Amino acid sequence: MTTTAPTSTYDDETALQVAFDAVIERHERIEPRDWMPEKYRSTLVRQIAQHAHSEIIGMQPEGNWITRAPSLRRKAILLAKVQDEAGHGLYLYSACETLGVSREELTQKLIDGRQKYSSIFNYPTLSYADVGTIGWLVDGAAICNQVPLCRTSYGPYGRAMIRVCKEESFHQRQGYELLATMMRGTDEQRAMVQESVDRFWWPALMMFGPPDADSPNTEQSMAWGIKRDTNDELRQKFVDMSVPQAKTLGVTFPDPDLVWNEERGHHDFGQPDWDEFMAVIKGSGPCNAQRIAHRKRAHDDGAWVREAAMAFAGFEARSARTSTTVVARSARTSTTVGER
């Protein structure tokens, strides 16, 4: 046994790290089969999974209103939007799976509470105006977060975000239009919009995560090019965007400290209740238990469909081999039930 040189494994690892760092340095993308540091991989799995779960859980608060939306037009819009959220979840799950985790594992970790989703979806949708407010403020905040992620360093994640961002614009505009329509209505409708905005403003600001000083992962994530802006930078951008939109709409935000700062060229604003944020993340929000129970029920209730589809696929494959495809064909049309 000698101590002359480092082992070849060590050398290989160093060379791989150097190559990885060089790709990040050039602002190029890391692709699934590239070598990557384990911490980079696990950070991405956590972030993409959290993002995917948010899209899937995010179907619930708005889905509640599909049957109660006031017209066929509004029902069709809401249905299309909720379907988009399912699609976004699927883009992101498949991006996450390229990092070597399975869909089943991701679903299980969501249901067991081992992986998180955005805290915003643990708040209830108490009035129909909330559908508009979610589109305007919640999807608006999501867009602020997501646009820079189109340039994230992990290829599949960036490509999924490009698709998501293209579709989010419809979400935000339909929400704003819905609220604008209500604001042209009765006093009662205007009050309903203001009440909804009052409830969602602070939780929307929380969507950007804790202040930079309390966000230990931000620095490393930015060094790796996973994140492109800090939580506070994005929050500021969102506030600056939203203030003139609120003015046009004719609503106010429930923040006495919200004021234009000429010197900074930005709005000053108050801090959300970060204790509430932590409590909701830890599971004590108004709807945490309900959201997870609903997701679990949907997953359990769909188990027989997933199993039947696999059994049918196996039957089909065997039939093809024994040339009894006629039977399979006739059975086929009635059994293609989607996962969702």
Q: Which residues bind another protein (CB under 8 A)?
A: 16, 19, 31, 33-35, 80, 83-84, 87, 90-91, 94-95, 97, 102-104, 159-160, 163, 167, 306-307, 309-314, 316-317, 332, 336, 338-339
- Annotate the chain with three-state secondary structure: CCCCCCCHHHHHHHHHHHHHHHHHHCCCCECCCCCCCHHHHHHHHHHHHHHHHHHHHCHHHHHCCCCCCCCHHHHHHHHHHHHHHHHHHHHHHHHHHCCCCCHHHHHHHHHCCCCCCCHHHHCCCCCCHHHHHHHHHHHHHHHHHHCHHHHCCEHHHHHHHHHHHHHHHHHHHHHHHHHHHHHCCCHHHHHHHHHHHHHHHHHHHHCCCCCHHHCCCHHHHHHCCCCCCCHHHHHHHHHHHHHHHHHHHCCCCCCCCCEEECCCCEEECCCCCHHHHHHHHHHHCCCHHHHHHHHHHHHHHCHHHHHHHHHHHHHHHHHHHCCCHHHHHHHHCCCCCCCC
**Nearer to another protein among residue 82 and residue 137 (C-beta):** 82
**Nearer to another protein among residue 167 and residue 233 (C-beta):** 167
**CB 22, min distance to another protein, A:** 13
**Nearer to another protein among residue 90 and residue 126 (C-beta):** 90
With vertex at residue 117, the alpha carbon angle to CA 116 and CA 122, rounded to the nearest 5 degrees, is 115
**Nearer to another protein among residue 19 and residue 222 (C-beta):** 19
**CB 192, min distance to another protein, A:** 31
**Nearer to another protein among residue 87 and residue 148 (C-beta):** 87
**Nearer to another protein among residue 123 and residue 157 (C-beta):** 157
Separation between Cα atoms, residue 215 and residue 196, nearest integer Å: 29
**CB 310, min distance to another protein, A:** 5
**CB 248, min distance to another protein, A:** 28
- Phi, psi for residue 213 in degrees, rounded to 5: -65, -25
**CB 35, min distance to another protein, A:** 5
**CB 328, min distance to another protein, A:** 10
- Annotate 142-191 with three-state secondary structure: HHHHHCHHHHCCEHHHHHHHHHHHHHHHHHHHHHHHHHHHHHCCCHHHHH
**Nearer to another protein among residue 108 and residue 189 (C-beta):** 108
**CB 101, min distance to another protein, A:** 12
**CB 313, min distance to another protein, A:** 4
**Nearer to another protein among residue 34 and residue 273 (C-beta):** 34
- Phi, psi for residue 2 in degrees, rounded to 5: -115, 165
**CB 142, min distance to another protein, A:** 18
**Nearer to another protein among residue 85 and residue 229 (C-beta):** 85
